[in-house]
Structure 1
Amino acid sequence: MDIPLKIGRFQRENRTFFGILIGDKVLDVSQEEKREYPLKEVRPLAPTVPSKIIGVGLNYRDHAEELKMPIPKEPLIFLKPVSALIGPEDYILLPPESAEVHYEGELAVVIGKEIYRPTSYKEAESAILGYTCFNDITARDLQRKDGQWTRAKSFNTFAPLGPFITKNLDPDDLNIQTRLNGKIVQNSSTRELIFKPAELVYFISNIMTLLPGDVIATGTPPGVGALGSGDTVEVEISGIGVLRNYVQALM
């Protein structure tokens, strides 16, 4: 496998650009004349702006065991709107409609090329650009109340993504950890995934066309819990980095 490469989307002086992370510098690759900037002089944004965000429910064996639920026979998928997307260091806003908003740290797959109805897992895997961190923010009380997931998953700011997309990363055994105010609340490995990234791409792209930049959130491990105003929540995945967000009540 090639050397892992970190790609990001950045803002500097009101200009947004894609760049490659090289140590503590960012190489701007969006212009013919390549320029480097110190990482501290740019603002990382959500590393992609997808046409859709597809979530996967109950996709960790240890989470299924925690909930005493049977292992699903096929992926359980749902959609989150792009209007929910935020980037690293952005604020998660707690809506007044919910009294129980939860974090869910996840590995996200980012699609690199259009794919529809692949004939093999290998073809599906070839459509993956790379991987990043995701936090599937969920209004748990509304999820229970509604009996389906759309409202609970769809409030603005409920889809933090970032900080970077890592290419050429083996996703089969990555440590995934969520911290709330510095305390570890989720700690697992992607080896616990029931359906692996290529399987998810295959399954989902046989339902809908996946486009470059689209995101598949692969599910959360055990330990989900509530967020409160003033909290700091971090999702860290080995080989990718830390997605940090702050929490405040929507006024």
Structure 2
Amino acid sequence: MKLVRFRSTEEEKYGILKGSRVFGLRNSPFSEGWDQEAPELDETEYALEDVKLLVPCQPTKYLGVGLNFAGAARAMGRPAPEYPVTFLKPSGACIATGEAVEIRTFEGCDYLYEGELAVIIGKRAKNVPRDEALSYVLGYTCSDDITDRRQFQKDDLRLKGADTFGPVGPCIETELDPSDVRIRSWVNGQLRQDGNTGEMIFGVPYMIEFFSSYMTLYPGDVISMGTPAGAGQIHPGDVLRVEIDGIGVLENPVREIYYESPGRQPG
């Protein structure tokens, strides 16, 4: 089942995506009364082209896992980590498919795309054992982890956390095996990444156990699971596309924004 959060001319709500049609849901899939086996429709129906897809959840945080694909670590000349390399983006970094990634360009700027599988937490999770972790997952979606690489080992928050640096979507697929799924990324129609989650060093159950051991995960929170080899630079005017088999396509243009304060230096 593919769940979407969308805006119609009347309201914002959740729905089920079937082909090119969206069927409205009476309740949020993150609500207490949600029954995934028998979701309750509200008798509304929309053409996909007539609605605006939103970020498919409303997270309190976007958690990420770095260097989590063995091939990507090798391509960077780095050993596979023995302990998860993690980071956090604020919820305000998240944008929907079709919305623009905004970057500031200046001499020496260096922004990176990273196509990834993202886990969407379905219910409150704290101190979750690994063998129960998947029961806390609502489903999975695509993410594009945007990085300001110039901030590496300089400013960890700006490295990952700027507005628009967390594209997520287009939908939440509730029936997916996260341990064996193909991830591909394109820039301007050119294939740049082609990997499989079978390369992940730390799997989804491990990371849910890991994060929930020291912080509470809330319904809608995002865990982005790392990227395969092939991540690279982006520039204004680029179109970024992430496709995950069984989920769909996340596509975002890249737009330049400018400093308005005279004398303020970027970086």
For the aligned pair, the TM-score class normalised by the smaller chain equals over 0.9
Quote the offset at 1:136 in angstroms. Answer: 0.6
Which of 223, 230, 241 is the aligned partner of 1:223? 230
Task: List per-residue Cα deviations over 1:117-161 (Å, max 9, x = no partner).
Answer: 02x3221111011000001100111225x0x52111111110000
Q: Name the structure 1 match of 2:150.
A: 141
1:77 to 80, 86, 89: 86
3-state SS of 2:217 partner: coil
What is the match of residue 24 of structure 2? 28
User: Which one has a bigger Cα radius of gyration?
Assistant: 2
1:34 offset after TM fit, Å? Answer: 2.4
Distance in 2 separating the partners of 1:121 and 1:213: 19
Q: 3-state DSSP class of the match of 1:170?
A: coil
Paired-residue identity, %: 41
Partner of 2:95: 86
Alignment of 1:203-214 (within 5 A): 203-214=210-221
1:95 Cα deviation from its structure 2 partner: 2.3
Structure 2 residue runs of 5 or longer lacking an equivalent are 28-40, 259-267
- Counterpart position of 1:50: 59
- Give CA deviations for 1:29-77 in whole Å, capped at 9, x if unaligned: 0367321111111111110110011111100011111112121112111
1:173 pairs with 2:176: no
CA distance in 2 between partners of 1:224 and 1:110 (Å): 23
Task: Tell me which of 43, 59, 73 is aligned to 2:68.
Answer: 59
Residue 103 of structure 1, aligned match among 113, 133, 140: 113
Is 1:19 aligned with 2:15? Answer: yes
Name the TM-score, length of structure 1 as normaliser: 0.93
Q: How many residues align?
A: 244
Structure 1: 5+ residue runs without aligned partners?
none
4+ residue runs of structure 1 moved beyond 6 angstroms? none
Match of 1:162 in 2: 169
